[in-house]
Amino acid sequence: MSAPEPLKGIKVIEFTHMVMGPTVGHILAGLGAEVVRVEPIGGDQTRRLLGSGAGYFPMYNRGKQSICLDLKSAEGLAVAKDLIAATDVLVENFRPGALDRLGLNYDSCAATNPRIIYCSEKGFLPGPYERRTALDEVAQMMGGLSYMTGPPGRPLRAGASVIDVTGGMFGVIGVLAALEERHRTGCGQKVVASLYETTAYLVGQHMAQFAVTGKPAAPMPARVSAWAIYDVFQTKDEPIFIGVVTDALWEKFCVLFQLEDLWVDESIRANNQRVLARERILPRISELIGGMTRDEVIAKLDGTGMPFAPIGRPEDLFEDPHLNAGGLEDVTLDNGTATKLPVIPIEMDGKRPALPRQLPAPGQDTRAVLRALGYDPQRVSSLFASGAAGESE
C-alpha cells in the first residue's frame, strides 16, 4: 500500500538544527509535505555530533531535501527569501533574534508571503524568560520533570529528548491548525511552541495533584502509587513491569498466580484498600515473581489483558517483532550503513507514513531547488562560484 500523503502539495522550508525544529519538518515530511532544509555551506553541525547526539540527524531529517546556502552573503540570503516567498510553512528553532538579524522574521516574511505559516520553536513563550537560551535539559530541570524522574534530591533528566520531540509535536499541531484556518481566511500566521511550556504541560498532572490533595507530588521513585501493584519486579533473570490497575485485574492476577487467599481477603478487595496495604502485599508478590524466569512470567500474562512489560533497551527494538510489522523503516546512513529507524507512530486509513530511505547529503538538492525557483543556469553557476550556495562533493 502507498503511504498516506495528506499534506501533499504543502511546501515547507526549514532553518533548523539539533532536534526540536527538525522534528517538526520530519513529521510534516512523513505526512507528505515537501520539505527543503536550509543548511550552512558544508552542512549542519548536527550531522557531526558525537555521543548521545550521534543519532539526532538520521532520526529527524529523513524525507527532506537539503540545500546549502551562505545566509551571511547577500546572494545566499536572496535565495532564502525567494524560497520563503514560494513556501507554505517556515520552521525555525534558532536562538531568539537569530533570523530577525537576517531580515527573516515573521513580519518581513509575511509582507512578501501573507499566506506563510511561520513556526518558531523556542525555549520559552513570551514572558520574563523569553530571551533566555534553552535546551531540552534546561527545560526538564526548570519545569520539574527532572525532579520527578530522579530519586529525592537527585534530579535526573529523562532518557531521551522528550521535550525537544514533544515541543516539535506541539509545533506540528499549531501548523496543522494554522493550515486549516488559512483555508477559511486565506492568511497565514505565526505559530510558536516552546520547551519550557511543553515541560509544564507534561508535569501538569503533578501540579493538579497538588491542587487536589494539597500535598506536593513526590519524585516518581518515591511516589505513593495509585495502585498496589504497579512496579518493576526482579525475576530469576531479567526484570519485568507489572501493573494491576483495576479490581477485575486484581482478581485475574490472583487466579493466574494461584493467590486465591489474597483474592478472598475482603480487607484488600478494593484498590484503595490494597494501596494502603502495599507493605503487606508487595513482599509476597516479589517473592512469587522472583521464583520465576521472565519468560515464564510473560507466558502467564500474555493474552490475558494484564498490563506488563519486559524492560527493553533501545538496541532491542531493532529486532522487536511488533515494530518490524510496520513500525520501522529501512534507512541508509551517510556512511552507507543500512539500518532501521522508527516511522512516525500513526496510521491513516490503514497505512503507515513512509519516507525516502536515503538521508540527504549536505546540499545534494541545491541545484534542483534553485532550478525549481526558476533560476537560469548562469545564475545557478554564479551562486556556486561565489560560495553563496554549495553542495556535497
The set of residues, in sequence order, having a beta carbon less than 8 Å from that of 165 and lying 6+ positions away, is 19, 20, 23
* Dist CA 232 CA 368 (whole Å): 53
Grid look-up 508478590 returns: 285
Q: Give tens-digit pLDDT for 349-359.
A: 999 998 878 89
pLDDT digits (tens, 9 = 90+) for 162-219: 999 999 999 999 999 999 999 999 999 999 999 999 999 999 999 999 999 999 999 9
* Domain 222-313 -> CATH class: alpha beta
Least confident segment among 2-6, 282-286, 383-387: 2-6
User: What pLDDT does 392 receive?
Assistant: 85
Class of domain 11-202+363-390: alpha beta
Strand partners, 351: 348
Question: What pLDDT, on the 0 to 100 scale, is given for residue 1?
Answer: 58
Q: Is the pLDDT of residue 393 over 80?
A: no
At 79-114, the pLDDT tens digits run 999 999 999 999 999 999 999 999 999 999 999 999
110-120: per-residue pLDDT in tens?
999 999 999 99
Going from N- to C-terminal start, the domains of the chain cover 11-202+363-390, 222-313
The reported pLDDT for the residue numbered 358 is: 84
pLDDT of residue 354: 87
- Whether the full predicted model's pTM is greater than 0.85, yes or no, is yes
Mean pLDDT score of the chain, rounded to an integer? 96
